[in-house]
Amino acid sequence: MKTEEPIAKKAYYSIGEVCDLTGLKPHVLRYWETQFEVLHPTKNRAGNRVFRPKEIELVLLVKHLLYEKKFTIDGARQRLLDMRKGGEISGSGKDVTGRDFLVGLKEELQQLKEILSAPRSRIES
C-alpha cells in the first residue's frame, strides 16, 4: 500500500488517521496491541491512542507479516521478537523523547506559531 503523505510528516497520529494510512479497522489495531508487545501506542490526556511514525511502521510490518506473508499471530509475534533481537527493530517503541519525535513536534509547533502570529486579515480570508 502506497500512501500519498509520508508517515513522518506529523509527530503523532490518532487511531483514525492510522486506520486511514494502513487500511485497517480500529478494532484490529486495538486487538494487535494486546497480541504484540512492540505495539503499544501512548495515550494523550484525553485517553486517546496516539501513534508515532515509528509505531505506524510497526503496524505496517505486522500487517505485512499477517496478511502478505501469512504468518499466524504467534508466528508474527515470534518473527518480531527475532527481528528485535537481531536489531532490525527497536525494542520498546516507548522513547517519547526520541530525535524523530522531537523534530516532528518542533515542526508542528513552528507551524502553529506561524498560524497564530499571522496577520488578522490572512486568518479571516
pTM of the entire structure? 0.65
Pairwise CA distance, residues 43 & 50, whole Å: 6
Instruction: Give 97's pLDDT tier (boundaries 50, 70, 90).
Output: very low
pLDDT for the residue 90:
66
Domain architecture of the chain: domains with CATH: 7-124 (1.10.1660.10)
What mean pLDDT is predicted for residues 113-118? 81
First-to-last alpha carbon distance for the chain, in angstroms, is 37
pLDDT for the residue 11:
84
